[in-house]
Amino acid sequence: MQVRYPTFDFSETSPHWNENKELSQFINAGNLIPAYIEPFLIKVMRKARAELDPVADAELIADIDTFNQQEAQHMKVHRAMLTVVRENGYEGMVPIEKAYEADYERFLAEKPLNWLLAYCEGFEAFGSTAAESWVDGHIEDRIEGADPEIVKMFRWHLAEEFEHRTVCHRVYQRLGGQGGPVRAYLRRIRGVYDAATHMNGYAVKLCDYLVSVDQQNMTPEEKAASDERLKQAKKVRAVPSLKNVVRILMPWYDPAKTTPPRRYESALTVYAA
């Protein structure tokens, strides 16, 4: 694993950065998740780090440090993209952002470490197995004419998600096993569910707000067409295939055995320090 410091120029980026405005907004809304979950992940990993043995867990501790530095870069870039959207007529998104951020502060204050680790592992499981959508370009036929800075940003981020895919899983296996293997497994599965429903709920709420602003001055016919494009956009989720979802849910799930995207190494080589 390696910490990289790529730069992306969003100075000419529009909220409608691709020909399908509704798909642009759907993906814009997805920036909400890394912008606020990344600092949460960092704080949870710091809590976990303090529980590890400095000698026996030295390798895992080093990986946590690299993981946290990568996640800090992801947060900065996605917050920059949210700023592009917010400052171009979508100031009403702020309450959604604040509510999402507040949830993570509440989780940190109220939830036990094993719950926090299960949530983080749930998020990371989806992130690493969804990498091929952007890294291998599977989504690119749906975003013709897209701003290349957006495509490069997501490709870099998801390649790094794959690179550090084992960290949260290993930490959970090390510290989240209270109550025996069956309870630890069930807790992990609940973490997958909690993470997916929580994150996606806020992303959908933000997407619906962004599109509602775009539709304010549309005719009924234009709005109906926009609604249909939004319906189709929501089907273009950069999420794992059904096969990968099943694999995540298995008791023997091990992210270290996940097949890397074909362009994985080349995507990271571009930004090597």
pLDDT in tens, 146-164: 888 988 888 889 889 989 9
pLDDT mean over 88-98: 96
Least confident of 1-10, 33-42, 101-110: 1-10
Q: What is the pLDDT of residue 258?
A: 82
Residue 237 has pLDDT above 60, yes or no: no
Identify the three-state secondary structure at position 47. helix
Please name the amino acid found at residue 235. Answer: K
21-258, what's its fold? Heme Oxygenase; Chain A (1.20.910)
How large a percentage of the chain has pLDDT more than 90? Answer: 58
What's the CA gap between 151 and 137, in Å, rounded? 9
Q: What is the pLDDT of residue 238?
A: 45
Per-residue CA distances from 107 to 44, 217, 262 (Å): 10, 39, 36
Residue ranges per domain, the chain?
21-258
Contact 31, 194 (CB under 8 A): no
What's the farthest any 2 CA atoms get from each other in the chain? 66
CB atoms within 10 A of CB 144: 9
Residue 197 has pLDDT above 70, yes or no: yes
Contact 155, 140 (CB under 8 A): no
pLDDT mean over 32-43: 95
CA angle, 222 then 26 then 220, to 5°: 15
Residue 142 has pLDDT above 70, yes or no: yes
Contact 42, 68 (CB under 8 A): yes
Structure tokens at 145: 């004419």
pLDDT mean over 162-179: 89
pLDDT mean over 19-45: 93
Query: Could you tell me the pTM of the whole model?
Result: 0.90
Residue 31 has pLDDT above 70, yes or no: yes
- Specify the DSSP class assigned to residue 142: G
pLDDT mean over 51-71: 95
CB atoms within 10 A of CB 115: 17
Q: What is the pLDDT of residue 44?
A: 97
Can you tell me which residue has the tokens 């390798």? 59
33: nearest Cα among 120, 134, 110:
120
Burial of 159 (0-12, 13-18, 19+ CB in 10 A): buried
What's the CA gap between 126 and 248, in Å, rounded? 8
Model confidence pLDDT, tens digit, residues 222-235:
999 999 888 888 77
Residue 218 has pLDDT above 60, yes or no: yes
Residue 239 has pLDDT above 50, yes or no: no
pLDDT mean over 183-210: 93
pLDDT mean over 173-188: 86
pLDDT mean over 206-214: 95
Residue 236 has pLDDT above 70, yes or no: no
In the predicted model, what is the mean pLDDT of the chain? 89
Radius of gyration of the chain (CA): 19
